[in-house]
Amino acid sequence: FQLMAKQKGAISAYDLLKKLKKHDSNAHPPTIYRALDFLLENHFIHRIESLNAYLMCDNFGCEHPMQLLICDQCKSVIALSDSVIDDAFLEQAKQSGFKIANKVLEAHGICYNCLTP
């Protein structure tokens, strides 16, 4: 949890492992994946599917709607929590007769900082 909390932005499991190995040279991938699974299950972090990375949750401890804006240049991630977007998406799925098993809303593009010189 502490490594994730200190992290600004998204990080991969293997980058987390590198950071952990600075404190515990015996750390192995299963250690990181068990910790990440625990943090995901308890809503402390979000998984960014398209980057295969993880992001600390601003509203941890509870499940909430989430949409991610991912910059393809600097890899920054903006997490939104807009229930209107989420409700509209779920309603469209329902009207289409589609049963959602896993919902991930991620948009890729270029952030404001990368767009402005």
pLDDT tens readout for residues 91-100: 999 999 999 9
Q: In a 3-state reduction of DSSP, which class is residue 11?
A: strand
Q: What is the CATH number of the domain that holds 17?
A: 3.30.1490.190
Total number of domains in the chain: 1
- What is the C-alpha to C-alpha distance for residues 66 and 51, in angstroms, rounded to an integer? 16
User: Please, are residues 45 and 56 in contact by the beta-carbon 8 Å criterion?
Assistant: yes
Q: In a 3-state reduction of DSSP, which class is residue 16?
A: helix
Domain holding 92, by residue range, is 2-115
* pLDDT score recorded for residue 65: 84
Digit-coded pLDDT (tens) for 6-52: 888 899 999 999 999 998 888 899 989 999 999 999 889 999 999 99
Digit-coded pLDDT (tens) for 60-109: 666 778 899 999 999 999 999 899 999 999 999 999 999 999 898 999 99
Q: What is the pTM of this model?
A: 0.82
* pLDDT score recorded for residue 94: 96
